[in-house]
A and B are shown apart, each in its own frame.
Chain A
Protein backbone atom coordinates (compact mmCIF):
# COMPACT_ATOMS: atom_id res chain seq x y z
CA UNK A 1 0.00 0.00 0.00
CA UNK A 2 0.96 3.62 -0.14
CA UNK A 3 3.18 5.10 2.55
CA UNK A 4 4.62 8.57 2.87
CA UNK A 5 7.46 9.23 5.33
CA UNK A 6 8.76 12.53 6.61
CA UNK A 7 11.11 13.60 9.36
CA UNK A 8 9.07 15.07 12.20
CA UNK A 9 11.03 18.19 13.13
CA UNK A 10 13.26 20.80 11.50
CA UNK A 11 14.69 23.92 13.09
CA UNK A 12 16.40 26.68 11.11
CA UNK A 13 17.54 30.23 11.66
CA UNK A 14 15.69 33.09 10.02
CA UNK A 15 17.23 33.88 6.65
CA UNK A 16 18.65 30.40 6.15
CA UNK A 17 17.26 27.85 3.69
CA UNK A 18 15.02 25.04 4.90
CA UNK A 19 14.91 21.66 3.24
CA UNK A 20 12.07 19.31 4.10
CA UNK A 21 12.35 15.76 2.83
CA UNK A 22 9.79 13.11 2.02
CA UNK A 23 9.89 9.56 0.72
CA UNK A 24 6.99 7.67 -0.78
CA UNK A 25 6.42 4.13 -1.90
CA UNK A 26 3.87 4.26 -4.71
CA UNK A 27 5.83 4.29 -7.95
CA UNK A 28 2.66 5.06 -9.90
CA UNK A 29 2.13 8.41 -8.15
CA UNK A 30 1.03 10.99 -10.67
CA UNK A 31 1.22 14.14 -8.58
CA UNK A 32 3.10 14.99 -5.41
CA UNK A 33 2.04 17.85 -3.21
CA UNK A 34 3.28 20.04 -0.39
CA UNK A 35 0.73 21.41 2.02
CA UNK A 36 1.28 23.83 4.91
CA UNK A 37 -0.71 23.80 8.14
CA UNK A 38 -0.54 26.67 10.61
CA UNK A 39 -1.80 26.21 14.19
CA UNK A 40 -5.56 25.87 14.38
CA UNK A 41 -5.98 26.04 10.63
CA UNK A 42 -6.68 23.68 7.80
CA UNK A 43 -4.11 22.67 5.20
CA UNK A 44 -3.06 25.12 2.53
CA UNK A 45 -1.71 23.89 -0.78
CA UNK A 46 1.78 25.33 -1.31
CA UNK A 47 2.92 23.70 -4.50
CA UNK A 48 2.82 20.46 -6.44
CA UNK A 49 4.87 18.64 -9.02
CA UNK A 50 3.84 16.26 -11.75
CA UNK A 51 5.66 12.95 -11.67
CA UNK A 52 7.36 13.49 -15.04
CA UNK A 53 9.12 16.60 -13.77
CA UNK A 54 12.23 16.65 -11.61
CA UNK A 55 12.16 20.24 -10.43
CA UNK A 56 9.71 23.05 -9.98
CA UNK A 57 10.45 26.55 -8.69
CA UNK A 58 7.88 28.99 -7.38
CA UNK A 59 9.30 32.16 -5.81
CA UNK A 60 11.02 31.05 -2.58
CA UNK A 61 9.94 27.44 -3.00
CA UNK A 62 11.84 24.78 -4.92
CA UNK A 63 10.53 21.24 -5.25
CA UNK A 64 12.89 18.46 -6.26
CA UNK A 65 11.66 15.03 -7.28
CA UNK A 66 13.86 11.96 -7.60
CA UNK A 67 11.48 9.43 -9.01
CA UNK A 68 14.04 6.63 -9.04
CA UNK A 69 14.55 6.94 -5.29
CA UNK A 70 10.95 8.03 -4.63
CA UNK A 71 12.26 11.09 -2.83
CA UNK A 72 10.65 14.51 -2.77
CA UNK A 73 12.02 17.64 -1.16
CA UNK A 74 10.82 21.16 -0.51
CA UNK A 75 13.38 23.93 -0.21
CA UNK A 76 12.33 27.25 1.27
CA UNK A 77 14.81 30.01 0.57
CA UNK A 78 15.32 32.89 3.01
CA UNK A 79 13.12 31.24 5.64
CA UNK A 80 11.01 33.67 7.67
CA UNK A 81 9.30 33.33 11.04
CA UNK A 82 5.99 33.22 9.18
CA UNK A 83 7.11 29.97 7.58
CA UNK A 84 6.89 28.22 10.96
CA UNK A 85 4.23 25.56 10.48
CA UNK A 86 3.75 21.87 9.77
CA UNK A 87 4.50 20.83 6.21
CA UNK A 88 2.81 17.76 4.74
CA UNK A 89 3.96 15.81 1.76
CA UNK A 90 1.18 14.00 -0.11
CA UNK A 91 0.86 11.80 -3.16
CA UNK A 92 -1.99 10.82 -5.42
CA UNK A 93 -2.15 8.06 -7.96
CA UNK A 94 -4.99 7.60 -10.41
CA UNK A 95 -8.27 7.72 -8.61
CA UNK A 96 -6.91 6.78 -5.21
CA UNK A 97 -7.27 9.18 -2.29
CA UNK A 98 -4.56 11.66 -1.41
CA UNK A 99 -2.11 10.02 1.02
CA UNK A 100 -0.42 12.33 3.51
CA UNK A 101 2.74 11.95 5.52
CA UNK A 102 2.73 12.72 9.24
CA UNK A 103 4.10 16.19 8.64
CA UNK A 104 7.34 18.00 9.42
CA UNK A 105 7.17 20.72 12.05
CA UNK A 106 9.36 23.61 10.91
CA UNK A 107 10.52 26.01 13.62
CA UNK A 108 12.20 29.22 12.53
CA UNK A 109 14.44 30.88 15.09
CA UNK A 110 14.70 34.65 14.86
Chain B
Protein backbone atom coordinates (compact mmCIF):
# COMPACT_ATOMS: atom_id res chain seq x y z
CA UNK B 1 0.00 0.00 0.00
CA UNK B 2 1.35 3.40 -0.95
CA UNK B 3 1.97 5.82 1.88
CA UNK B 4 1.26 9.52 2.01
CA UNK B 5 2.80 11.21 -1.01
CA UNK B 6 3.99 14.80 -0.99
CA UNK B 7 5.55 16.95 -3.66
CA UNK B 8 7.81 18.64 -4.19
CA UNK B 9 10.31 17.30 -1.65
CA UNK B 10 12.33 20.50 -1.72
CA UNK B 11 11.52 24.03 -2.79
CA UNK B 12 13.67 27.14 -2.79
CA UNK B 13 12.03 30.47 -3.53
CA UNK B 14 12.67 34.15 -3.00
CA UNK B 15 10.62 36.04 -0.46
CA UNK B 16 7.33 37.48 -1.67
CA UNK B 17 6.95 34.66 -4.22
CA UNK B 18 4.03 32.22 -4.05
CA UNK B 19 4.52 28.52 -3.38
CA UNK B 20 2.26 25.48 -3.31
CA UNK B 21 2.60 22.03 -1.79
CA UNK B 22 0.64 18.97 -2.79
CA UNK B 23 -0.39 15.95 -0.75
CA UNK B 24 -2.01 12.66 -1.68
CA UNK B 25 -3.16 10.79 1.44
CA UNK B 26 -3.45 7.06 1.93
CA UNK B 27 -6.42 5.69 0.02
CA UNK B 28 -9.53 5.60 2.16
CA UNK B 29 -8.22 7.99 4.79
CA UNK B 30 -10.86 10.62 5.32
CA UNK B 31 -8.87 12.88 7.62
CA UNK B 32 -5.97 14.91 6.29
CA UNK B 33 -3.61 17.16 8.24
CA UNK B 34 -1.07 19.78 7.31
CA UNK B 35 1.70 20.44 9.81
CA UNK B 36 4.53 22.92 10.03
CA UNK B 37 7.79 21.66 11.49
CA UNK B 38 10.49 24.15 12.33
CA UNK B 39 14.05 23.01 12.93
CA UNK B 40 14.41 21.36 16.32
CA UNK B 41 10.68 21.41 16.99
CA UNK B 42 7.81 19.01 16.84
CA UNK B 43 5.13 19.34 14.17
CA UNK B 44 2.46 21.99 14.74
CA UNK B 45 -0.96 21.59 13.19
CA UNK B 46 -1.92 24.12 10.53
CA UNK B 47 -5.19 22.66 9.31
CA UNK B 48 -7.22 19.47 9.56
CA UNK B 49 -9.74 18.21 7.01
CA UNK B 50 -12.45 15.66 7.42
CA UNK B 51 -13.26 14.76 3.83
CA UNK B 52 -13.45 18.11 2.07
CA UNK B 53 -14.36 20.13 5.15
CA UNK B 54 -11.73 22.08 7.09
CA UNK B 55 -12.72 21.25 10.67
CA UNK B 56 -9.79 22.96 12.39
CA UNK B 57 -7.90 25.82 10.77
CA UNK B 58 -7.41 27.90 13.88
CA UNK B 59 -3.59 27.82 13.55
CA UNK B 60 -3.48 28.65 9.84
CA UNK B 61 -2.20 32.20 9.19
CA UNK B 62 -5.01 33.11 6.87
CA UNK B 63 -3.50 36.34 5.62
CA UNK B 64 -0.97 34.42 3.54
CA UNK B 65 -1.77 30.71 3.85
CA UNK B 66 -4.60 28.87 2.17
CA UNK B 67 -5.47 25.23 1.69
CA UNK B 68 -8.00 23.20 -0.20
CA UNK B 69 -9.17 19.63 -0.47
CA UNK B 70 -11.81 19.95 -3.14
CA UNK B 71 -12.79 16.32 -3.73
CA UNK B 72 -11.91 15.06 -0.27
CA UNK B 73 -8.77 13.30 -1.46
CA UNK B 74 -5.72 15.32 -2.54
CA UNK B 75 -4.91 18.57 -0.84
CA UNK B 76 -2.91 21.67 -1.69
CA UNK B 77 -1.37 24.12 0.75
CA UNK B 78 -0.40 27.53 -0.60
CA UNK B 79 1.60 30.43 0.73
CA UNK B 80 1.32 33.81 -0.96
CA UNK B 81 3.49 35.78 -0.48
CA UNK B 82 6.18 33.75 1.25
CA UNK B 83 8.27 35.33 4.01
CA UNK B 84 11.71 34.40 5.31
CA UNK B 85 10.16 32.95 8.47
CA UNK B 86 8.15 30.43 6.44
CA UNK B 87 11.29 28.36 5.85
CA UNK B 88 10.44 25.01 7.43
CA UNK B 89 9.29 21.51 6.62
CA UNK B 90 5.62 21.16 5.72
CA UNK B 91 4.27 17.75 6.61
CA UNK B 92 1.09 16.15 5.42
CA UNK B 93 -0.53 13.31 7.34
CA UNK B 94 -3.69 11.27 7.03
CA UNK B 95 -5.71 9.01 9.26
CA UNK B 96 -8.60 6.64 8.88
CA UNK B 97 -10.51 7.91 11.88
CA UNK B 98 -11.14 11.31 13.36
CA UNK B 99 -9.67 10.82 16.83
CA UNK B 100 -6.44 12.44 15.69
CA UNK B 101 -3.98 9.90 16.95
CA UNK B 102 -2.84 7.20 14.58
CA UNK B 103 -1.65 9.41 11.77
CA UNK B 104 0.51 8.42 8.83
CA UNK B 105 2.95 11.05 7.68
CA UNK B 106 4.41 11.90 4.31
CA UNK B 107 8.13 12.74 3.93
CA UNK B 108 7.45 16.46 3.94
CA UNK B 109 8.37 19.39 1.74
CA UNK B 110 11.38 21.38 2.87
CA UNK B 111 10.82 25.03 1.99
CA UNK B 112 13.65 27.52 1.92
CA UNK B 113 12.77 31.18 1.47
CA UNK B 114 15.70 33.41 0.48
The yes or no verdict on A and B being binding partners is: yes
Interface size on B, residues (CB 8 A): 23
Whether A42 and B99, one on each chain, are in contact in the complex, defined by CB atoms closer than 8 angstroms, is: no
Listed in ascending order, the chain A residues whose CB lies under 8 Å from chain B are 4, 8, 30-31, 33, 35, 40-45, 48, 88, 90, 92, 95-98, 100-103
Given contacts A42-B4, A42-B106, A43-B91, contact A48 B45 (CB under 8 A): no
Whether B98 and A95, one on each chain, are in contact in the complex, defined by CB atoms closer than 8 angstroms, is: yes
Given contacts A42-B108, A43-B105, A44-B105, contact A101 B42 (CB under 8 A): yes
Given contacts A95-B98, A95-B100, contact A102 B42 (CB under 8 A): yes
Q: Which residues of B contact A48 (CB under 8 A)?
A: 101-102
- Mark interface residues in B30-74 (1 if CB within 8 Å of A CB, else 0): 000100000011111100100000001000000000000000000
* Nearest Cβ on chain A to B55's Cβ, whole angstroms: 9
Whether A42 and B42, one on each chain, are in contact in the complex, defined by CB atoms closer than 8 angstroms, is: no
Listed in ascending order, the chain B residues whose CB lies under 8 Å from chain A are 4, 33, 40-45, 48, 56, 91, 93, 98-108
A4 to B43, CA, bound (A): 12
* Nearest Cβ on chain B to A91's Cβ, whole angstroms: 9
15 A/B residue pairs, CB under 8 Å, sorted by A:
A31-B101, A33-B102, A41-B108, A42-B93, A42-B106, A42-B108, A43-B103, A44-B105, A45-B104, A48-B102, A88-B43, A97-B100, A98-B103, A100-B44, A102-B41
* Nearest Cβ on chain B to A21's Cβ, whole angstroms: 15
Whether A40 and B100, one on each chain, are in contact in the complex, defined by CB atoms closer than 8 angstroms, is: no
Closest residue on chain A to residue B48 by CB atoms:
A97
Whether A40 and B101, one on each chain, are in contact in the complex, defined by CB atoms closer than 8 angstroms, is: no
Given A92-B99, A95-B98, A98-B100, 13 new contacts (CB under 8 A): A33-B101, A40-B107, A42-B105, A43-B43, A88-B43, A92-B101, A95-B100, A97-B56, A97-B100, A98-B103, A101-B42, A102-B40, A103-B42
* Nearest Cβ on chain A to B25's Cβ, whole angstroms: 12
Q: Which residues of A contact B4 (CB under 8 A)?
A: 42
